[in-house]
Structure formats: C-alpha cells, structure tokens
Structure 1
Amino acid sequence: MPSTETFRIPRHRRHVHDARQRVRKTLADWGVTGRLADSVTLLANELVTNAVTHCRVSDARVEVTLTLHGTELVLEVADPDRDRLPRLRRSGPDEEGGRGLALVAALADAWGCRQEPYTKRVWARFSPAEAETDVAARERVPVAP
C-alpha cells in the first residue's frame, strides 16, 4: 500500500521554506535519505517556487503531494492556475531565473504536467536503483551488490 503525504501552503514566497521542510521531514519519516532525499527536496523547492511565482489566482493555495509506492517516489505540486502550463526553456548565462524545470528534467526519472478540472499539477517521478537502495534500507531488506 502506498504512503502518501499531502499538504497545502499559501501562495507566497515566504512559505516555500515551509514546504521544503515538510518534504524533507516526510522523506526522513519514510526512511528516504541521501541523494534521493536531496534531489526530491530540491525539486520540491523549485516546483513550489514556480507555483507561487507564476500562479495568477488570488488567495490561491499550493498543494504538495508525495507518494511512495514500492520503489517509486512521486512528487506533485498543484495550483489553481490551470491554463498556465510550465514549459522548459533555455536561460541565458546572465538570467537570474528560468532553470527550475531544467533541474527537474535533469534530476527526475520523468516529469510532466496535467490539467485537472480546477488545477494544474506538475509531477516528478523517481524510481531506479537509488530509490531501491534507500527504500530497501528503510524496510531492512538487504540489497544485492
């Protein structure tokens, strides 16, 4: 049975830190550590920052969901600005922003977004050997070399 943690934060930059800390704590509670935890936490920071920066719905809340099912870990960030879909772009060397989705593409095994009736949801999936090692350690199952 999958483990799932969902929480919401106000759409304001000062709450990005809270989301990052909550993701880190959830991963630690599940026994997910090391590079995988670092990558998921970094991408949560990027996706939540994108949501609070680009969502144009007033008084919106950003929803963060983590799901651990076997060796697959999924991070999802949703906001109510369903028609403003994220797109990967190239940033110039002098630009301060615009690299968040490039990080998502580089660190996640897969990522994407989908429109739902009242929200858009950006997701990143993590699965292979690194997740197997971390999850197996959590379950106290030895992993073959």
Structure 2
Amino acid sequence: MPTATFHIPKHRRHVPTARQHVRRTLADWGLTGELADSVTVSANELVTNAVAHCRVTLARIEVTLSVQGPDLVLEVSDPDRDRLPQARDHGPDGEGGRGLVLVGRLADAWGHRQQPYAKCVWARFAIAEKPCLEGSS
C-alpha cells in the first residue's frame, strides 16, 4: 500500500506547499480528475485549520496520504491534541468556519482521533478506478 508523508512548519505561507505536495503525490500515483481535486481541496482546508488553530509554538504539521484497500486516506496531524475540530456552518455572510463542512461534502467520511502527543484529522475518499501506483513511496 503506497504511503507518502511530509511535514510543513506551522505557518500560513506553507499551506500552498502542502497543497502542491498532495497534488504531486496523487499525480505520481495516477490519481487525477475529480478525486484529486477533492483530496487537494480537503488537504488545503485541513492544513489551514491545523496552522490556524494549533497553539503549540514552532509546531510542524504532518500530512499523510495512503491507499488503504479501495480508499485514499488523507491525514493531517498537529501536536495540539486537545483542540479538537468542530464543523460549523456560519452562513453565507460569515468569515471562515466552513472548511470542515466542505471536507464533509467532498470526502466519503471524515473524523479525528487523539494520539498520545498529537491529534489527527482524517478524510477518506473512495477510489473509483484502480490507480497506477508505480513509483509510490
């Protein structure tokens, strides 16, 4: 099962770097189109949330992509294990707060788990076609 993991510093300017890593990894695995778009947008939202809400100074955000059976799993972890995500829909005039609602619409499932020293927010996406997984890490 292919897996790719990378880390970024907890700073907004690194969110595009995470998005680019996700897009490149998916392309390397032969995953493109609507699935790649949904995973990339979801990664952008989850990484942005981790960067914005993690209260640990000098933290690093970990992003993992893995193929688990018929699914692609995106995991975004940060060391602020006690600040758990909450989906909120603030309406059309609200600023922010819609990222997890968007992830919920794009992914087949999403959730979070607390680990000993971190929290992980994950999203699961069904892979419609079997990807060409050559060159995977």
TM-score of the superposed pair, with normalisation by structure 2:
0.93
CA distance in 2, matches of 1:9, 1:27: 18
Shift of 1:94: 1.4
CA distance in 1, matches of 2:63, 2:111: 15
Q: Which residue of 1 aligns with 2:50?
A: 51
Question: What SS does the aligned partner of 1:132 have?
Answer: coil
Write the deviation string for residues 25-68 of structure 1: whole angstroms up to 9, x where unpaired: 00000000000000000000000000000000000000000001
Unpaired runs of 5+ residues, structure 1, are 140-145
Shift of 1:93: 1.9
Unpaired runs of 5+ residues, structure 2, are none
CA RMSD in angstroms comes to 1.1
CA distance in 2, matches of 1:72, 1:36: 11
Shift of 1:69: 2.9
Q: Which residue of 2 aligns with 1:66?
A: 65
Query: Which one has more relative contact order, counting CA pairs under 8 Å at least 6 apart?
Result: 2
Choose the corresponding residue for 2:128, options 115, 132, 135. Answer: 132
Matched residues, number: 133
Identity score, percent: 68
CA distance in 1, matches of 2:7, 2:13: 14
CA distance in 2, matches of 1:3, 1:76: 14
Larger radius of gyration: 1
Shift of 1:132: 2.5
